[in-house]
Structure 1
Amino acid sequence: MSANRLPSLKKPFWLFLVVIFLLPVLPAPVRVPEYWITLFNYIGLYSIVAIGLVLLTGIGGMTSFGQAAFVGIGAYATAYLTTNFALSPWLALIAGIVLTAAIALVIGGVTMRLSGHFLPLGTIAWGLSLYYIFGNVDWLGKYDGINGIPALSFFSLSLASGRGIYYLIWAVALMSVISVQNLLDSRPGRAIRALRGASVMAEAMGVDTVWMRIVIFVYSAVLAAISGFLYAHLQRAVNPTPFGLNHGIEYLFMAVVGGVAHVWGAILGAAILTVLQDYLQSVLPTLLGQSGNFEIIVFGVLMVVLLQYARQGVWPFVARWFPRDPSARAPASAAALPQRTKPSTGGALLVVDRVRKTFGGLVAVNDVSFEVAAGEIVALIGPNGAGKSTTFNLVTGVLRATSGTIRFAGERIDTLRSREIVRRGIARTFQHVKLVPGMTVLENVTLGAHLRGSTGISRSIARLNAAEEGRLLAEAASQLRRVGLEQHMDDEAGSLALGQQRILEIARALCCDPVLLLLDEPAAGLRYQEKQRLGELLRRLKAEGMSILLVEHDMDFVMNLADRVVVMEFGTRIAHGLPREVQNDPAVLEAYLGGVE
């Protein structure tokens, strides 16, 4: 099972549910000792935090070492409010969640804009800051912490003992699994799954990637705070020790060992590390003596070996025992999504006026001007390095023009972001294919319809999005049938040949319901018959009122398809006109052939 693929695994869910909930109530001959109940309680608490890290790190691609600090906020919030103000623990839980969400929103607004090694360093910085706040504030008890936290009770049921709170801990852990899976199998969830390695594509499909990163950062922090709340009422006391950087690293380790891109892997990783640490602490002192912490050394070596041979974690090996079904299926019928009205044929739709783009001293696009009229196909051609893809990126907001203007349907768009431009009716493909390889073909194409839905995070978590999901998936299935990929609907996108991936990108762009379609080398990697079918598709789209701007190197394909051709060399437009005129232009022959007699 590859990263980002989140199949519906019903058998492990029910098997796990039965085992977990039967353990404390087995009859006397096989009754589970209190020691193991305590161990399972800690596995459940750690799992809740690790599930948030799967969402944040494994799916969203943002490494965090500071989750233990959010556990501390949840624990200290309930400890302080219940001991100093005699507040109900359940009201303290709500207060802790609100406080954690507010702090995470502020921290995430700064930290989640970082990239590369700066991001994990940033999480270490705020994690340490919160840890030292816990240990140095008088009213939080400094390093002695807060004692006398009341036990939880649910109506008349006391949850004072480890066996009593066991069911609550595991109910929260399972609800965390379900909520995260519900989220990831939804409209915002597909956007989240595109954050890791495909954020430029996600922005071009209308996703606000910065906000989406902040959202999952806050959600993972809230899960950690809930774990801290349960921990505080299990221990009946808190101090800063469990909320330091070492524990933050352990939480991340749990997610990675279990399978950092797999929700169920979080529980498996928490179980492996907790049981292994406990076993080593019991066995190694009898073998190697009491004088040193040898278990830390052995534990580290075992983790390195494990990660060497199971780089995707342990869960993919376990998942092989269970049947896997795609998480998204298009319904047999669904209400059609509303569509834009195409503009009347002939009027200027896209106007690129003396656009320039410089990178330092390099002029990549040099005062280029051209137009695309409504209902026509314009080809942008030129040798490698001519600036064609850079021009595409300027039109779609991936890059900002140094000077000049770009207008679409009369509105200036060169100052807008990618997600604002696609909202106005411009969709694109990419020179280097940009997909989410572990998502199915259907899910990848549905990502193109992101702006055509409105369901947010909370409704997705609660699975109140069935009607809209059905419409979005049905639209994606329709576009796949349109381009001839319906037989690959349930395949992983990464398993397709390059030519099929390019066709998939066209289907995804069509899912945006564009007025203007920008295709960057759509025929690259296609066989002759596939090119013929692509040409037929583009002509059919033109007949339906679609305007198309394409970059292509296959001259036969371009000359038999385009209404007009624009030729670039070294960032400058050197020719434009009808295909037959461009073919005989001396400047074009010089650029392509080095001149002819």
Structure 2
Amino acid sequence: MSARTRWFIAFAALLALLPVLPVPEFWITQLNYIGLNAIVSLGLVLLTGVAGLTSFGQAAFVGIGAYTAATLAVNVGLSPWLTLFIGLGITVLVALVLAAVTLRMSGHYLPLATIAWALSLYYTMSNMEMLGKYDGILGVPALTLFGTSLGSGRSYFYVIWVIALLAALAVIHLLDSRTGRAIRALKGGTTMAEAMGISTYRYKVQIFVLAAMLASVSGWLFAHFQRTVNPSPFSLSKGIEYLFMAVLGGVGHVWGAFTGAALVKLTEDQLKDWLPRLIGTSGNYEVIVFGLVLVVVLKYASEGLWPHIERLFARFLPEKRRVRDWADAAPLPERSKPQPGELLLEVDRVRKQFGGLVAVNDVTFQIRAGEIIGLIGPNGAGKSTTFNLISGVLSKTSGRVSFRGEDVSALASREIARRGMSRTFQHVKMLPDMTVLENVALGGYLRSSAGMAQAMLRLDRDEERRLFKEAERQLERIGMKDQMHELAGNLALGPARLMEIARALCTDPALLLLDEPAAGLRHKEKQALAAVLRQLKAEGMSLLLVEHDMDFVMNLTDRIVVMEFGTKLIEGTPAEVQDSPEVRAAYLGTEH
């Protein structure tokens, strides 16, 4: 049992003891509200902290859960436990509709859209006759469990906190999984995730719906705890407060949700008492204080307070290191590989226009299995654009790309990755807060299948061991096994590029595309990279690389395609390219 597990058990045991101790009823009530708020904030940890999607509308989902429970229990007489599942069903339907409308937005449009639908849902609840309009619904029955009424705050305390702690465990399990790594990849942009075969839109929808479900559960608990509901606790201002809790506690950390919920609830009550005495008049002055606190936190503790608390108690907690329990794990499935010399990639008159600018002009070349092909040219020649057209990152204006005999011209990058083409990026794209091993394991996404529910219930452990065994194998293949437990963000540029190659290899590709792999590397790092690429070729790997370093390309490739101003200038062996007057003119200019 790890030290962190022991701390969790001790925390849960302390909570279990509190209601039976002679503590004031006010304490229990406060803890109940903290638990309710923490459940909502957990959803924001996933949605905002991990996936990078800002939402101001979680209070509206709390309202859906609360009003469903109150309406069906009071007006229809349904069992409160049945109303939980009906409320979740309604929440999922509403969340799916809202996700379809809003999640394709980016930048500031997404939070603005969440404000719009949060206001819409709030005013809908406030003006419906069947929901009691602004007066709400009274007389919501207390929960009963095995015939025992949970009408008191002390008995209800256990329901709230069991659900809150189970939700926290489920989120922790989710983040430590294939699905969790895919979700983490959303925050840094979609290009890398899609290139690994991840449907970023599908995961955005899943996380949005999961966060809404957590909020709905909190609303159901709230309705039966308060025994009455009205629109006030589900307004836009409350949605902003939930986001403030998550940011203050640590929006990227599960326990930050609990930290933020506790600090905001306890401080809010104290400020409501102190500020009128200090100022001499009543009003919602605590909002001003919270605004100032948020500015200070964003300035000096942008990750929230939980990371600082964790560092404070670091000496009581051993360094987090994954237990190596995958030595006897079965290998991941492998795709069929092309025979040496087989036509692997055919680029036929590919063209890309941006308005009136022709970036790539009818470029044609082929790659056969077992070759290393270089794509070179001066700055602005169209190399990276061609690279992105082949890998599906950009759509083509015209032309055709065939991979292993299949036309992939119209496919998205994740579908091309599924067929066996993997790539690295000109600027290294990684998840800096995950270990090297976890970053490389992300490459095995398409070779695995466990979903969100399996991860949360911890039913994916066998597949996880297989993924980490493959990730370790690829790191050993490129000489980085000893660094697998380091945080990726701590790597120098050379090892970071090698890690990216290992991640691409973890997809089990038939063709590996490398975008300027030697850029920014020192001489010895380039030598080490060249040795790795030669080893991969010796093992049967086919490679296409874009590169500026002529010595690196000439000593490594079998054939070279030279581009200038978006067109193919020449194709040949390194010796033929070096002897070409056209190439010398393209790089050095002509003498008049």
TM beyond 0.5: yes
Give the alignment partner of residue 529 of structure 2, picking from 534, 538, 559: 534
Match of 2:47 in 1: 56
Give me the whole-angstrom Cα distance separating, in 1, the residues matched to 2:3 and 2:438. 14
Give the alignment partner of residue 109 of structure 1, picking from 97, 100, 105: 100
How far has the Cα of 1:329 moved from its partner? 4.8
Give me the whole-angstrom Cα distance separating, in 1, the residues matched to 2:84 and 2:466. 37
Is the aligned partner of 1:87 residue 2:78?
Answer: yes
Is the aligned partner of 1:20 residue 2:30?
Answer: no
Give me the whole-angstrom Cα distance separating, in 1, the residues matched to 2:470 and 2:282. 66
Alpha carbons 1:586, 1:595 under 8 Å: kept? no
Match of 2:434 in 1: 439
Match of 2:374 in 1: 379
Give me the whole-angstrom Cα distance separating, in 2, the residues matched to 1:48 and 1:572. 57
Give the alignment partner of residue 311 of structure 1, picking from 274, 292, 302: 302
Is the aligned partner of 1:130 residue 2:121?
Answer: yes
Give me the whole-angstrom Cα distance separating, in 2, the residues matched to 1:308 and 1:550. 42
- CA displacement 1:455-484 (0-9 Å, x = unmatched): 011111101001101001110011011111
Match of 1:188 in 2: 179
Is the aligned partner of 1:406 residue 2:401?
Answer: yes
What letter corresponds to residue 434 of structure 1 in structure 2? K
Give the alignment partner of residue 543 of structure 1, picking from 524, 533, 538: 538
- Classify the secondary structure of the residue corresponding to 2:78: coil
How far has the Cα of 1:423 moved from its partner? 0.4
Match of 2:560 in 1: 565
Cα 1:171/1:95, change in 2 over 3 Å: same
Give me the whole-angstrom Cα distance separating, in 1, the residues matched to 2:401 and 2:532. 28
Give the alignment partner of residue 141 of structure 1, picking from 132, 135, 156: 132
Q: Superposed, which structure 2 residues align to 1:392-431 within 5 Å?
A: 392-431=387-426
How far has the Cα of 1:308 moved from its partner? 2.6
Is the aligned partner of 1:518 residue 2:518?
Answer: no
Match of 2:364 in 1: 369
Alpha carbons 1:199, 1:209 under 8 Å: kept? yes
How far has the Cα of 1:111 moved from its partner? 1.0
Give the alignment partner of residue 247 of structure 1, picking from 225, 238, 244: 238
- Classify the secondary structure of the residue corresponding to 1:351: strand
Give me the whole-angstrom Cα distance separating, in 1, the residues matched to 2:355 and 2:585. 28
Aligned-residue CA RMSD in angstroms? Answer: 1.5
Give me the whole-angstrom Cα distance separating, in 2, the residues matched to 1:480 and 1:330. 17
Q: Superposed, which structure 2 residues align to 1:488-507 within 5 Å?
A: 488-507=483-502
What letter corresponds to residue 374 of structure 1 in structure 2? A
- CA displacement 1:250-269 (0-9 Å, x = unmatched): 00000000001111000000
Give me the whole-angstrom Cα distance separating, in 2, the residues matched to 1:420 and 1:35. 56
What letter corresponds to residue 114 of structure 2 in structure 1? T
Give the alignment partner of residue 588 of structure 1, picking from 555, 577, 583: 583
Give me the whole-angstrom Cα distance separating, in 1, the residues matched to 2:322 and 2:185. 16
How far has the Cα of 1:596 moved from its partner? 6.8
Match of 2:573 in 1: 578
- CA displacement 1:219-242 (0-9 Å, x = unmatched): 000000000000000000101110
Give the alignment partner of residue 353 of structure 1, picking from 348, 355, 366: 348
Is the aligned partner of 1:236 residue 2:193?
Answer: no
Is the aligned partner of 1:333 residue 2:328?
Answer: yes
How far has the Cα of 1:486 moved from its partner? 1.1
Alpha carbons 1:8, 1:327 under 8 Å: kept? no
Give the alignment partner of residue 551 of structure 2, picking from 544, 547, 556: 556
Match of 1:300 in 2: 291
Match of 2:203 in 1: 212
Give the alignment partner of residue 272 of structure 1, picking from 263, 277, 298: 263
Structure 2 unmatched ranges of 5 or more? none
Match of 2:476 in 1: 481
- Classify the secondary structure of the residue corresponding to 1:198: coil
How far has the Cα of 1:536 moved from its partner? 2.5
Give me the whole-angstrom Cα distance separating, in 2, the residues matched to 1:149 and 1:11. 38
What letter corresponds to residue 33 of structure 1 in structure 2? P
What letter corresponds to residue 187 of structure 1 in structure 2? R
What letter corresponds to residue 165 of structure 1 in structure 2? Y
Cα 1:161/1:327, change in 2 over 3 Å: farther
Give me the whole-angstrom Cα distance separating, in 1, the residues matched to 2:39 and 2:23. 23
What letter corresponds to residue 435 of structure 1 in structure 2? M
Cα 1:467/1:584, change in 2 over 3 Å: same
How far has the Cα of 1:534 moved from its partner? 2.2
How far has the Cα of 1:328 moved from its partner? 7.3
Match of 1:201 in 2: 192
What letter corresponds to residue 355 of structure 2 in structure 1? G
Alpha carbons 1:328, 1:442 under 8 Å: kept? no
Give me the whole-angstrom Cα distance separating, in 1, the residues matched to 2:151 and 2:296. 40
Give me the whole-angstrom Cα distance separating, in 1, the residues matched to 2:323 and 2:200. 22
Is the aligned partner of 1:471 residue 2:466?
Answer: yes
Give me the whole-angstrom Cα distance separating, in 1, the residues matched to 2:241 and 2:472. 42
- Classify the secondary structure of the residue corresponding to 1:197: coil
Give me the whole-angstrom Cα distance separating, in 1, the residues matched to 2:334 and 2:402. 22
- CA displacement 1:156-177 (0-9 Å, x = unmatched): 3321011110011011111111
Cα 1:302/1:517, change in 2 over 3 Å: closer
Alpha carbons 1:400, 1:415 under 8 Å: kept? yes
- CA displacement 1:61-112 (0-9 Å, x = unmatched): 0000000000000001111111112111111101111110111011112211
Give me the whole-angstrom Cα distance separating, in 1, the residues matched to 2:338 and 2:232. 65
How far has the Cα of 1:17 moved from its partner? 1.6
Alpha carbons 1:499, 1:524 under 8 Å: kept? no
Normalized against structure 1, the TM-score is what?
0.96
What letter corresponds to residue 480 of structure 2 in structure 1? L
Cα 1:149/1:121, change in 2 over 3 Å: same
- CA displacement 1:402-449 (0-9 Å, x = unmatched): 111111111111100011000000000001111111111111100111
Structure 1 unmatched ranges of 5 or more? 1-6
Give me the whole-angstrom Cα distance separating, in 2, the residues matched to 1:293 and 1:237. 23
Cα 1:410/1:566, change in 2 over 3 Å: same
Equivalenced residues, count: 587
How far has the Cα of 1:11 moved from its partner? 4.9
Match of 1:4 in 2: none
- Classify the secondary structure of the residue corresponding to 1:125: helix
How far has the Cα of 1:494 moved from its partner? 0.9
Alpha carbons 1:380, 1:567 under 8 Å: kept? yes
- Classify the secondary structure of the residue corresponding to 2:189: helix
Select between 101-110 and 68-77 the one with higher mean Cα deviation: 101-110
- Classify the secondary structure of the residue corresponding to 2:350: strand
Match of 2:278 in 1: 287
- Classify the secondary structure of the residue corresponding to 1:459: helix
Cα 1:596/1:555, change in 2 over 3 Å: farther
What letter corresponds to residue 582 of structure 1 in structure 2? V
Point out 4+ residue stretches in structure 1 off by more than 6 angstroms. none
- CA displacement 1:317-373 (0-9 Å, x = unmatched): 111113240457562231111212221111221011111111112111111111111
Cα 1:575/1:19, change in 2 over 3 Å: same
Is the aligned partner of 1:258 residue 2:253?
Answer: no
- Classify the secondary structure of the residue corresponding to 2:512: strand
Normalized against structure 2, the TM-score is what?
0.97
Cα 1:369/1:102, change in 2 over 3 Å: same
